[in-house]
Amino acid sequence: MKDQVENNFSKCLIIVGMHRSGTSFTASLLQKAGLNIGSDLLGTGVGNELGHFENEDFLTFHKNVLLTKNQNPDGWSQNKIEHLNDQEQTDLLKIIQSNTTSQWGWKEPRTTLFLDIYKKIIPNAYYLFVYRNPWEVVDSLFRRSTDNELLKSPLSTINNWEFYNKIVLDFYKNNIENSLLVDIETVMQKCNTVIELINSKFNFELIEIADTLFEKEKFKNESTSIQQFYCEYAFPTSIDLYKLLQTHSSISPFKLYSPSNLNKESLIQWWRASSYLNKSNIDQPSEDIITKIITDIIEPLNNVNERLTKENTYLKEDLNWITNSKWWKIRSFLKKFFSNS
């Protein structure tokens, strides 16, 4: 069997992007526009009430290869897949050939880790890279709460966002003639502009679609500027990468990045407000943790010693939620931030 697929009578468009970046929504739009994304698709799930629009053939293959190479099958990894053994390559070629039609493709987030493989095996493939800002991806992963690896190590959420999107940007820049890079807001707000660009640049024949066919409210954007503020001060490299993605986008982003312009007091207020909604099923933090937060972080701002006397129970509940918050756990940057204030 040949080690690559070349079919001049078919066109392949691979939809690539990190988990929770809107690739399911994008795949659903392109399916309506006439792109064959497969017949055996992963169904609905938490955070994907309309469906994942993922081809089960590619999903199963990617997970099996990751497991064989002792990597997390969900794709939470800091390593790309650069080589397949003979059997894996044979299996992948069979999957590609069984899915190939005149206008076809697939969406599966783990594809990002396999891009070098697909470039060799399908040299005439085209790529649509979709990205979403880091604070909304992290917030979406936390709200979904189905990824055990991320729940155990919340910091890995932002690390994976950076890893995936660095791969996306590098591959796009090195293969710009057969790639498009768009942010998810542009896909949602200007879907037919994206379709027109795919048709004109790659010579596809996708059809215009009606916005009313899709429930955009299902794509939840519940994060606020406070999460953005958190990323700006805790993870500035993610903001730098996000701005680079916007700069290199094939279509001018629907909404350009602008700083949150918030302050540390607003962060404390956010945690306090959230704590009253998140008090159940949380282990009580130790007295040492409470004392450390009061002494090293909060006291300089809020005169906590006085408030502790007056509101001992409520304050400890606030601190309890803060120290167990996933947003808190992904970066204990506040001590340094406040000490420099």
Conformation bin of residue 112: beta by default, left when phi > 0, alpha when psi is -120 to 50: alpha
> Is residue 29 very low, low, confident or very high in pLDDT (cuts 50, 70, 90)?
very high
Q: Tell me the average pLDDT across 256-278.
A: 69
Residue type, 281: N
What are residue 13's phi and psi, to 5 degrees?
Answer: -120, 115
pLDDT of residue 70: 93
165 vs 304, more confident: 165
Q: Tell me the average pLDDT across 25-35.
A: 93
Distance CA 89, CA 280 (A): 49
DSSP single-letter state for residue 221: -
Distance CA 214, CA 327 (A): 31
pTM reported for the whole predicted model: 0.78
pLDDT of residue 336: 52
Distance CA 324, CA 235 (A): 20
Residues 6+ apart with CB under 8 A from 6: 123, 124
Q: Give the DSSP H or E segment for 15.
A: strand 11-16
Q: How many CA atoms lie within 13 A of 255 on its CB side?
A: 10
pLDDT of residue 165: 98
The pLDDT tens digits for 210-236 are: 764 455 555 555 556 888 888 888 889
Block residue for tokens 């996306």: 168
What are residue 270's phi and psi, to 5 degrees?
Answer: -65, -45
Given a cut of 70, is residue 95 above it in pLDDT? Answer: yes
Domains of the chain listed by start with CATH number: 11-248 (3.40.50.300), 264-339 (no CATH)
Give me the torsion for CA of 181, 327, 54, 60, rounded to 10°.
120
> Is residue 67 very low, low, confident or very high in pLDDT (cuts 50, 70, 90)?
very high
Given a cut of 60, is residue 198 above it in pLDDT? Answer: yes
Q: Tell me the average pLDDT across 122-143.
A: 92
pLDDT of residue 331: 56
Surface-to-core class of residue 286, CB atoms within 10 Å of its CB (0-12 exposed, 13-18 middle, 19+ buried)? exposed
- Helix, strand, or coil (residue 104): strand
